[in-house]
Structure 1
Amino acid sequence: MEYIRVTKENIDKEHICCALSKNNDIQVSSKKAWLQERFDDGLVFLKSEERGKCFIEYIPVENAWNPIDAEGYMYIDCLWVSGSFKGHGYATDLLNACIEDSKSKGKKGICILSSQKKKPFLADPKFLKLKGFNVCDEADNGIQLWSLPFTEDALQPQYKECAKHPRIEEMGYVLYYTNQCPFNGKYVPVLEGVAKEQNVQFKTIHLQSKEEAQNAPTPITTYALFFDGEYLTNEQMNDKRFLKLLLKQA
């Protein structure tokens, strides 16, 4: 497998693996705009040469859009290999490339979000354990921070206090999200429309800077849905899934 690094110079012509629509689709344009602004912060986007979901996205933790304290670490935003790409060692290839690059930049280790059991849009804990990662922190909602330190004296990453106990004061449905996930460009407005039709209290909080994201009340900032103050899910939903959730919560 050959891999391509997406940069400012080639992002306009390269597809981004997690959103395979045309470049003028809102999912693609919002994600590419977000990436464009992150490259200067040290973000790396490495993907398969073939079209499909096979890529890794990582960034120095001080510039990550997550409330994490991990001085000297690299943070993996997303490692996604799916469909026909699974089972060929590509996830290992991508992870190893991240490790080698991080070491060459003098990083102390890498970290990533996961959970005790596999959850949608989070790294597979079985894969992480196999590759030598360990859980170094866990929020009340079960979202875990996993790390792979490069040296024995490297400090373990931790959540900031604001993210350890995911809870907010506002009632109704409140969605925190960023443009890091391309699906939000399409489906957040869909959920807003459904909530209006169903006369459901629904508020979106669009995190638009790393400072806002690093002080969010949730470890996951790409998509975090709360109801009456309690954290519900990080799984992006379409109209049918949201309607099902509304019925369940009623």
Structure 2
Amino acid sequence: MEFKRVTLDNLASEHICCALTDQKGESSVASKKAWLSQRLGEGLVFDKLDVRGKVFIEYIPAEKAWCPITADHYLFINCFWVSGQYKGQGYANLLLERCLADAKAKGKQGLVVLSAEKKMPFLSDPKYLKYKGFQIADQAPPYYELLYLPFSPQANVPQFKACVKSGRTDEEGWVVYYTNQCPHTDKYVPILVDHLKSKKLAIKAIKIETTEQAQKAPNPFTTYALFYNGQFITNEILTAKSFDKLLIKTNLYPPTVPPSPSEYPAPLQRG
């Protein structure tokens, strides 16, 4: 099988791997493609296996990353995903090798990626990355790790910006910060907002729409971050039912009789 690069010329017709599999087909990825169309002009690269599956790597010059970091002259990996039947066939290694070669050809100091202390939904797998030589450059509460792979001992060490070091926000009540980096947000953020309103719970949805806003965000994972009274709750993109399950788990359920947790499926997970 061959790899393919998504460009402005083929973006409209190309399957971008992370499409939602529902009755609406790929209509839910329109927001992601619109986001990609703007980022492609800023140096974003989207390489994928030429299949209708989740086998791809997406990266961008770190100066343009939608993540509050300082990592001059690095490439930032937005998303790196191999799932389903394509796992265990060496595709992750090949995609990473393509990214490494591109970074070196462009004279970069190395690669940098957002991960966590342990494997978390929607974040790159730290075990795999550390096996491939990535090191911890910085940390941010409650579990984020900024991993980097420098090309020389003299390379600058990337850092999180101060805005994510407290792990909190000044906003009161339920607040969700999100972007269109992932097609799931365009579908599930409105569902979450409507669900909370049906429970007479106030929620503010703050959409991050520019690189500058993303680099000043209160959470490293700008794709999706849910807070309650200033405290970070989760980076998992929640359905209505999985939100209710989270309320029970965290003892934040409103003063009503909560449903049985067995009624609820787990939050959305990557393949």
TM-score range, shorter chain: over 0.9
Q: Which amino acid aligns with 1:83?
A: G
Q: Which amino acid aligns with 1:147?
A: Y
Q: Which amino acid aligns with 1:9?
A: D
Cα distance in 2 for residues equivalent to 1:4 and 1:91: 14
* TM-score in terms of structure 2 length: 0.89
Cα distance in 1 for residues equivalent to 2:25 and 2:83: 21
Cα distance in 2 for residues equivalent to 1:173 and 1:246: 12
The residue aligned with 1:36 is 37
Cα distance, 1:163 vs. partner? 1.3
The residue aligned with 2:104 is 103
The residue aligned with 2:9 is 9
Q: Which amino acid aligns with 1:132?
A: G
Cα distance, 1:247 vs. partner? 3.4
Between 236-245 and 207-216, the greater mean CA deviation after superposition = 236-245
The residue aligned with 1:223 is 224
Counterpart of 2:145 in 1: which secondary structure? strand
Structure 2: state its 5+ residue gaps.
254-271
Structure 2 counterparts to residues 150-229 of structure 1, below 5 A: 150-229=151-230
Cα distance in 2 for residues equivalent to 1:64 and 1:214: 8
Runs of 4+ in 1 over 4 A off after TM superposition: 20-24
Q: Which amino acid aligns with 2:19?
A: A
Cα distance, 1:242 vs. partner? 1.2
Q: Higher Cα Rg: structure 1 or 2?
A: 2
The residue aligned with 1:117 is 118
The residue aligned with 1:137 is 138
Show CA shifts across 1:128-178 (max 9, x none): 111000111000211000000011100110001111222012221110100
Cα distance in 2 for residues equivalent to 1:65 and 1:124: 19
Q: Which amino acid aligns with 1:144?
A: E
Structure 1: state its 5+ residue gaps.
none
Cα distance in 2 for residues equivalent to 1:77 and 1:230: 25
The alignment status of 1:76 with 2:90, answered yes or no, reads no
Counterpart of 1:41 in 2: which secondary structure? coil
Cα distance in 1 for residues equivalent to 2:26 and 2:68: 32
Cα distance in 1 for residues equivalent to 2:38 and 2:96: 23
When the two chains are superposed, the root-mean-square deviation of aligned CA atoms in Å is: 1.2
Cα distance in 2 for residues equivalent to 1:76 and 1:105: 15
Counterpart of 2:41 in 1: which secondary structure? helix
The residue aligned with 1:93 is 94
Cα distance in 2 for residues equivalent to 1:7 and 1:80: 19
**Identity %, equivalent residues:** 53
Cα distance in 2 for residues equivalent to 1:187 and 1:247: 20
Cα distance in 1 for residues equivalent to 2:20 and 2:207: 23
Show CA shifts across 1:12-35 (max 9, x none): 11011011556761x210000000
Contact 2:20-2:183 within 8 A present in 1 as well: no
Contact 1:174-1:225 within 8 A present in 2 as well: yes
The residue aligned with 2:233 is 232
Between 236-245 and 8-17, the greater mean CA deviation after superposition = 236-245
Counterpart of 2:219 in 1: which secondary structure? coil
Contact 1:138-1:144 within 8 A present in 2 as well: yes
> How many aligned residue pairs are there?
249
Cα distance in 2 for residues equivalent to 1:142 and 1:120: 12
Cα distance in 1 for residues equivalent to 2:2 and 2:243: 38
